[in-house]
Amino acid sequence: MSSDQAIFRKLIDIGIALSAEKDTNKLMETILLEAKDIGNADGGTLYLRTKENTLKFEILRTDSLGVAQGGTTGVEITIPPVLMFLEDGSPNTQQIVCSAALSGDTLNIADAYDSTAFDFSGTKRFDEGNNYRTRSVLTVPLKNSQNDVIGVLQLLNAQDPDGQVVTFSEQIQPMIEALASQAAVALDNAMLIEAQENLLDSFITLMARAVDAKSPYTGGHCERVPELTEMLTRAACDSTTGPFTEFSLTEEEWYELHIGAWLHDCGKVTTPEYVVDKATKLETITDRIHEIRMRFEVMKLERTIAFKDKVIAGKGDPLLLEAELQKELAQIDDDFHFIAQCNLGGEFMADDLVERVKKIASTTWTRTLSDRAGVSFEELKRKEKKAESSLPCEELLLEDRPDHVIEHNSVVHSADPDNIYGFQIEVPENKYNLGEVYNLCVSRGTLTDEERFKINDHIVQTIVMLDSLPFPKHLERVPEIAGGHHEKMDGTGYPRRLKGEEMSVPAKVMAIADVFEALTAADRPYKAPKKLSDSIKIMSFMVKDQHLDPELFRLFLESGVYRDYADKYLLPTQIDEIDIGSYLG
């Protein structure tokens, strides 16, 4: 095989290698090293064109000086970028790399010191400081498929077989240009892919932060869960004994996990803020306790007016009537304070308290104004379910009215027994029920069954949203990873009621990360941050109840991931000593 044939064969092999390389740094390094090899050059530099129209040093090599910077070396190039245009806006044609980039032409210089077309003063200063002598210079623009110059490849000091510096020959120059053409296309493709990934990452981060910003109750949840997920997954990959000895992730699977973790709560964008942030039982967009308080105030005024009317009409002893009035007003005050206390929610509401709410609700007050004037079109439609009362009319102090019921106005994915996602969730008959008695009698916390469903539905929306995206094959498990963190090992979780053996390791890791972050979060305005020991204890009960994976929980403790995360994200006052041995028996 002739030398030319060998070079052509080499160019083909290089082209194949370049098209297969996805790492931009490795790709640029390969381009420069292969060009140096073909041109038998002592040194070389690869520049990339920036948006600011500068040429940035990416890879720099000079064999005889032992200089290797940029690329995979880990050594930063500190030389500032070269300006393609001067301060007055004119092209910087004095610099050879800029001239090549601006013209798109290859420039072959036999001896830099003899050149009058370009300014090599910087080169000469470098030579003087490093006992070097730059002679032959070959500068080749890198053009992509649109014929845009995306960078410049420059080779220095071609050498003959005896090691003497010679000019880059007319036979070698086309070979370097051919390599540069292949390299530019491969590099442009790699940068486009990298730019797309960066855009996707930025969009994912934006989405997660938007969810966190939507409610003060979630804080940095969407950022911390991915961090903890990757920490525990890394521990599983590094495990040399136990059930995760064979577990590992490829580079693509790591990226798949990264996306799934960051998007695990993206469905929360569909959850109304007043539901997520519902602090009292009567709260919607506003807390309706204020409306109810005014009814109590009206009731007190009505009783007072009735008392005065009796006194004026001489229908009883004024002193006795006054005493009766004060007793009635005191009872109204007490009833209101009871209702106000019920509105705050709690761990449990006993049956006798529920009965008192209903008894108070049966009290009446007089309404003299239309309750349909000035309301929205949607509310008016709900009001029309019941005939309008003639005014003035007596109304119950607290009511569950037909207009309090808001029906489902769109498809509820989890309500369809034949849904393609495999959801198995009991769906309330209505979307919301704003009934006042209904809400005040919620037995635990502040949420109705409808509102709790709506909050849990975020995971359904996450899966539906992600499943609608055209993920490539290496990212096709993103919906499963993102949508599995509320499943439980015993199959009682949601939305698919999967059992542990039906879930992937990343999905089970996310379940642990999601719970631990929620327990230890110090930025929730509705609760004091839990100590590390309390959080681990609660998780141990969840393991016993077959809600969390026991092997991953063991790894979580044995690997020290819980402590590493705590050191990074928990308050110093939260971090206390834990006897992990008591949980590993």
* Contact assessment for residue 154 and residue 97, using Cβ atoms and an 8 Å cutoff: yes
Place of tokens 């104004």: 369
Single-letter amino acid, residue 236: A
Does residue 356 carry a pLDDT above 60? yes
Between 12-16, 22-26, 241-245, 472-476, the lowest mean confidence (pLDDT) is in 12-16
Q: Give me the residue spans of the domains in the chain.
A: 3-194, 215-247+470-583, 289-406
170-178 contacts at long range (C-beta below 8 A, 24 or more positions apart): 171/4, 172/38, 172/39, 173/106, 173/108, 173/138, 175/7, 175/11, 175/38, 175/39, 176/35, 176/38, 176/39, 176/106, 176/138, 176/140, 177/106, 177/140, 178/11
Position 43 confidence tier, pLDDT thresholds 50, 70, 90:
very high
Burial class (CB in 10 A: 0-12, 13-18, 19+), 157: buried
Q: What is the pLDDT of residues 156-190, one digit of tens each?
A: 999 998 889 999 998 889 888 888 888 788 888 87
- The DSSP line for 266-298 is GGGGGS-HHHHT--STTBSSSBTHHHHHHHHHH
pLDDT given at position 100 = 95
Q: Give the torsion sign (CA, 79, 82, 83, 87).
A: positive
Q: What is the pLDDT of residues 114-132, one digit of tens each?
A: 998 999 998 999 999 999 9
With H, G, I as helix, E, B as strand and everything else as coil, classify residue 371: coil
With H, G, I as helix, E, B as strand and everything else as coil, classify residue 141: strand
pLDDT given at position 96 = 95
Q: Give the torsion sign (CA, 557, 560, 561, 565).
A: positive
For residues 565 and 567, give the distance between their C-alpha atoms in angstroms, rounded to a whole number: 5
pLDDT given at position 19 = 64
Give percent of the chain with pLDDT exceeding 90: 65
Confidence (pTM)? 0.76
Region 131-155: mean pLDDT is: 92
Q: What is the pLDDT of residues 200-242, one digit of tens each?
A: 888 888 888 888 777 766 768 888 999 999 999 999 999 998 8
pLDDT given at position 32 = 85
The architecture of the domain spanning 3-194 is 2-Layer Sandwich (3.30)
DSSP letter for 545, please.
Answer: T
Cα 364 to Cα 177, 328, 410, 442: the distances in Å are 92, 14, 37, 23
* Contact assessment for residue 501 and residue 494, using Cβ atoms and an 8 Å cutoff: no
* Contact assessment for residue 48 and residue 56, using Cβ atoms and an 8 Å cutoff: yes
Does residue 415 carry a pLDDT above 80? no
Q: Which two tokens stand for residue 519?
A: 């327990």
The architecture of the domain spanning 215-247+470-583 is Orthogonal Bundle (1.10)
